[in-house]
Every structure is written in structure tokens, then in C-alpha cells.
Amino acid sequence: MATRRIFLELSKHGPPASVISVRSSQLADKPITGSSVLLQFLASAINPSDYNQVEGKYPVPMDLPGIGGNEGSARVIEVGENVTSLKVGDTVIPSVAGFGTWTTHKVVDERAVKKLPSGLSVAASAMFAVNPCTAYRMLRDFKTLKPGDWVIQNGATSGVGRAVIQMCKAEGVNTVNIIRDRDNSDQVKDELKSIGADAVFTVSERQELETFCKTNTPQLALNMVGGRETISLLKCLGHGSNLVTYGAMSNSPMSVPFGLMVFKDITLNNYWMSRWTREYAGTPAEGEMFEQIGDWFKSGVLTPTPHEERSFFDYEDAFKSAFKRKQLFVGERTLNDPRVDELD
């Protein structure tokens, strides 16, 4: 029997509401053979990189029309006779960016996916590849941190920010966190402290932040925002420290004053998870990372980013809400949505 898939199709680049639509099609009615595997997606996320891809600004191109989405998890439901690395029931994630995860089903070669540790929740598996792995690598690849050290970051309420807080807490490393000003800043501060943040300041509390860092001096800064907010991180860093930039949410050029960088001997680094994955896929380093993050999720040390679960049919609302709260397209919600019957 042919498998019907539901997916979000990107017809051209532009604003999500005007270029994305819900589609359906039948996968070829033939046995899964060779090294192919049939996947049923458990859930797939919306990340900032997905906005860039939809708008045509992401460095990983996609063929149009095509299926969007770079992160998500799927269950293997059928394997070809030559498949050796996977079995029915395994949970997998894409091996590279540009996979097209906004779909309920997909047939791929076994090399296009990689197996996750067993026992993860749907949310943990669907949000495994980008934010936790980014946090993990930045905390290990640029500075050797030991218990009692301090890390400073902006964008602390993001998926990466929350993962940084929880991972540092697990390893005895302290975090000082910067959040944007908002009406409920005190509530957000308390929530971040409840998951392990040691100190939280708003963007406008620059003087208080600098005073705090004089006696609690970070050696590593993680920069998601960019723009002039970079200066706050640089002012707080100690001599011989590192600033790692992994995002540019301000959409402004990064400000790096000469004196702060040179006289403090600060090293500027950058990080892109997709590049690391291309270079280290299938290596022991990736395997160790997956095992550790999986253990943290299963023990409760690491928790999925607070999120809202959606059907593909609610994609317009999902994109409108994605910068306020993490959005997760859940496969079963889509497959059980009564609006499926309205599709061709």
C-alpha cells in the first residue's frame, strides 16, 4: 500500500505566509529496497536558520519547489535489504542541513540519517541536533573550562542559551546571562535561575553587569545577538579570553572596539553547527557528544526548550509565534488533523 505524506512546500523565497503551503502526495507504491529506509517523522522544529532558508538568505541552498526544515527526528518504519546501520524502530535525525524535515514521511539512503540514543522524548529527539549540540561544542572547543569558571552569554532565553545554562550547571561552571528588556523581566530571570543560571541581567543593566563581572570574570563569551551588544560581552571578559559568535539576531554589524580586543588579548571565534557536522560526522567526537547529550536528556539534567506543538496546517501561526516561543511540528498532530481530508 502506498504511503501518503503531508508536507510543507516552499514554492519560492519570501515571507513564510506567502510562499509556504500544505501539500500531500503518495510515495511510490513499491518495496523499500537496497540501502533505502522509510521514515515517519516524529516532530520537526522551526529555527532561525529556517527563516533564512525560506527568505533565501541561508548558505545551504535548496531546490525549489521543495520541502523546508533543517531539524527534526523520525522513526525508521521500513528498511531495505542492504541496510546495516539502522533497524525498524530506531530514532534518527538528518546527517546534514537542508534535509527537508517538514514532512510526515520520507524515503532516504541510510547514510542520510544518523541514529540517536534510545529512550528520548519526542521533543528531545526533535530538538537534539542544533541547539544542544551547538552549546556543547562551544563550551568545549574554544576554552578549557573547569568547575568555578564563569561563562557569559547573551540571548540567554534561546534554545542554545538554555542548553548552555543547564550544561554548565551540570559541570560546575557558572553562567552570567543577558536577556532583552521586557515587561516580565523579573519572571524570566527567576525562570532561568530555576534551571541553573547563576546571574541574569537585562540589556539595560549594563553598569550592574560590569560591576558583577569585575569579581566574577568570565573567560568565555557566547555571542548570539551581535551588533553593539557585543561590546557588553567584551567589557566583561578577562585577559586572554575568547568571544565566540554564533548568531546575528540584531541584524547589525558586530562592534569590536580595538582597545577591548587588543589590550585584553581577546580571541574572536565563530561557530556554525552545520560546518562542524560536515567535518566531524561519524567520528568518535560526534558519538561522544550524542551519548553525553542523550544521557543528560534522559536524566533530566537537560530539558527540551519550552515549546508549542503544532500541525502543519497551523504553519502560519507557528511562524508568527516562533520568535516568542519555540514551535514544533508534530507528525501525529498533522496526520490526525481533520483538514487532511481537504487536501487533493
Catalytic residues, by residue number, are: 58
CA distance 128 to 68: 18
DSSP annotation string for 106-148? EEEEGGGEEEPPTT--HHHHHTSTTHHHHHHHHHHHS----TT
**Burial zone of 69 (CB within 10 Å; 0-12 exposed, 13-18 middle, 19+ buried):** buried
Cβ distance 312 to 22 under 8 Å? yes
Check residue 157 and give left, alpha or beta (phi > 0: left; psi -120 to 50: alpha). alpha
Residue 65 preceded by cis peptide, ω within 30 = yes
| Alpha helix positions (H), the chain | 16-19, 48-54, 122-126, 131-141, 159-170, 185-194, 206-215, 229-236, 258-263, 273-280, 284-299, 315-321, 331-335
CA distance 209 to 207: 5
CA distance 177 to 193: 10
CB-based contacts of 222, cutoff 8 Å, min separation 6: 138, 151, 152, 153, 154, 160, 161, 164, 244, 246
CB atoms within 10 A of CB 251: 8
Cβ distance 72 to 50 under 8 Å? no
Cβ distance 254 to 76 under 8 Å? no
